[in-house]
Amino acid sequence: MVTKGMLIGKYELGRTLGEGNSAKVKFATDIFSGESFAVKIIDKSRITRINVSFQIKREIRTLKVLKHPNIVRLHEVLASKTKIYMVLECVTGGDLFDRIVSKGKLSETKGRKMFQQLIDGISYCHNKGVFHRDLKLENVLLDAKGNIKITDFGLSALPQHFREDGLLHTTCGSPNYVAPEVLANNGYDGAASDIWSCGVILYVILTGCLPFDDTNLAVLCRKIFKGDPPIPRWISPGAKTMIKRMLDPNPVTRITIAGIKANDWFRHDYAPLNYSDEDDDASSIQEDTFEEEKRSDSPTVINAFQLIGMSSFLDLSGFFEKEKVSERQIRFMSNRLAIDLLENIETIFKEFGFYVQKKHTKLKAIQEEITRKGQDGLSITAEVFEISPSLNVVELRKSHGDSSLYKQLYERILNELGTSSQVQDLST
C-alpha cells in the first residue's frame, strides 16, 4: 500500500489541526480501515522542560477508562524515544467557544439539548471518580452532528488526589469558569466545582457572554464570590432558576447533578443515552505503567493564574487596571486579613529603612535618606485587593531604584505573607 504522509504505527499523519505549548494535533487515517482519527503528538523533552509531564500522564490514565458518547475517546497510545502519540477520536465540528463567537448564543431549545449532553458526560465522569476541574467552552468540542464531546482531562482529579479531609486542594482551572471555593484555597468538592463551571457554560450558551468577567483580576474574583450574574430578560424562568442554582457561591447549597437531572426545565425533551460502557469492570482509575503522580504539595502544582502565564499569547498585564508593563511587578494571594497584610508589609518596609505613606489599602515606601543625597532611591508601591475577607491579592510594584534591594524586600514579604505556588513574577 502506497502512503503519502508520515506513518505512526498503522496511522498515516495528515494536516495539522491545532498546536499548543507542548503538543501538536494532526489529522490521521488508519491505513487499513480508512477511519479518521486525531493524533496528539507530545514532545517528551518539551513537557519535561515546562513541568507538565504529570498532566499528560493524568490525561492518558483518565481517558483510558472514560468511554462515553459525550467524551472524546482515547483509542490507543504509542510512543517513541522522543514523542508520545495519543490516538483520539476525530471531532470535526470545532469547539463551543468558536461556535458562540462565530454564530452567537443558541436558542433555549438547542442550548438545553447541548447542556443535557454536557451533564450526561460530567455525571458519567463523576460516577467513575473523575472530576474534570477545567471545564470551559474551549474544552467542549462539537462533532459533525452538533453533539458535544468533552475533552482535555489534563487537570482532572482522581480518587487518590483527595486529602484526609475528603476535599481537593489544588487551585486550578480557568479564572472565568472557576468556582469561588476553589479560589478560596481552603479545600473544595470536585463535583460541586464542576457543576459551577457547567453553570458558566450554560450561561454563555444561552446569552453569548460570560457571567463573570473583568479586566481587573480582583474585581473578577469579587464577582465570582458574589455569584449573582445579570440574567437577560429573554431567559425563561426555568433556565434562570437553573443558572442561579448552579452559580450558587455556597457549594453546600449549590444544586447537585441529581438535582439538575430531576429539574423540570432540564427534563424537557430529555432522552438519556442508551450505550454500552465497554469498561464497566473499571469502576475507578487504576494505576498503569506511568509512575505515581506527584503529591498535591509538589512545587510543580499549577494554579489558575500560572496556567494563564504559561500561554505565550496571553498577557497578564491587563488583569490590573493601573498596571504599567514598564515596571517590575510581583503579585500573590494570601488568606490573611487585609488589615494584617498592610500592617505586616508596613513593618517590613520600615525595618528596611523606608519612609512609608499609607492611604486606604495602598502603601508607598521611599528610601528617604538616599533620595536626599540626590541618588536614585528605591520607590515601591504595595496594594492589597480584597476579594473576600479571607482572600486577598497583594501587588508589589517598583517605580525605580535598586533592583537587588527590591528583590530582598519582595522575597522577605513573600516568605512571610505569601504562598509560593500563587506568585506571579512579571518582569520586563
Same domain, 113 and 219: yes
- Residue 419: inside a domain, yes or no? yes
Rounded Cα distance, 260 and 267, in Å: 9
Arithmetic mean of pLDDT over the chain: 77
Domain containing 153 — which CATH number? 1.10.510.10
Domain holding 76: CATH number?
3.30.200.20
Note whether residue 242 is domain-resident.
yes
Query: Do 222 and 136 share a domain, yes or no?
Result: yes
Is residue 216 within 8 Å of 194, Cβ to Cβ? no
Domain count, the chain: 3
The rounded distance, in Å, linking the Cα atoms of 37 and 118 is 22
Same domain, 31 and 115: no
C-alpha cell at 182: 476553589
Residue 295 reports pLDDT greater than 80: no
133 and 222 belong to one structural domain = yes
2 within a domain of the structure (yes/no): no
353, part of any domain: yes
User: What pLDDT is attached to residue 304?
Assistant: 40
CATH assignment at residue 351: 3.30.310.80
Q: How far is CA 30 from the centre of its chain?
A: 33
Residue 427 has pLDDT above 50, yes or no: no
CA geometry: angle 62, 122, 169, nearest 5 deg:
65
Strands 379-388 and 362-366: antiparallel
Tell me: do 172 and 216 sit in the same domain. yes
Q: Give a yes or no: residue 287 inside a domain.
A: no
Contact predicate 328/403, CB 8 Å? yes
Q: In terms of domains, do 222 and 340 share one?
A: no
What's the distance, Cα to Cα, between the start and end of the chain in Å? 55
In a domain, 246, yes or no: yes
184 and 212 co-located in one domain: yes
Does 274 or 237 have the greater pLDDT score?
A: 237
The per-residue pLDDT for range 146-201, each reduced to its tens digit, is 999 998 877 665 544 445 555 554 545 578 898 888 887 777 788 999 999 999 99
Pick from 35, 56, 89: which residue ends a domain?
A: 89
Highest mean pLDDT, choosing among 59-68, 102-111, 309-318: 102-111
134 is a catalytic site residue: yes
Write out pLDDT tens, residues 306-318.
333 333 333 333 3
User: Binning pLDDT at 50, 70 and 90, where does residue 48 land?
Assistant: low
Q: How far apart are CA 108 and CA 91, in angstroms?
A: 24
Q: What pTM was estimated for this model as a whole? A: 0.67
Residue 281 lies in a domain: no
Is 253 part of a structural domain of the chain? yes
Which of 266, 293, 310 delimits the end of a domain?
310
User: Is residue 40 part of an annotated ligand binding site?
Assistant: yes
Residues 141 and 73 in one domain: no
Residue 209 structural domain:
96-276+301-310
Cell of 284: 475507578
Do 324 and 418 belong together in one domain?
A: yes
Q: Which one from 134, 152, 194, 248 is the annotated catalytic residue?
A: 134
377, 247: one domain: no
75 and 100 housed in the same domain: no
Burial level of 80, CB count in 10 A (0-12/13-18/19+)?
A: exposed
Average pLDDT over residues 18-25: 75
Banded model confidence at residue 254, pLDDT cuts 50, 70, 90? very high
Q: Please say which residue of 28, 56, 89 terminates a domain.
A: 89
The top-scoring range by mean pLDDT among 240-254, 270-284, 335-349 is 240-254
Same domain (yes/no): 112, 170: yes
C-alpha cell belonging to residue 232: 437577560
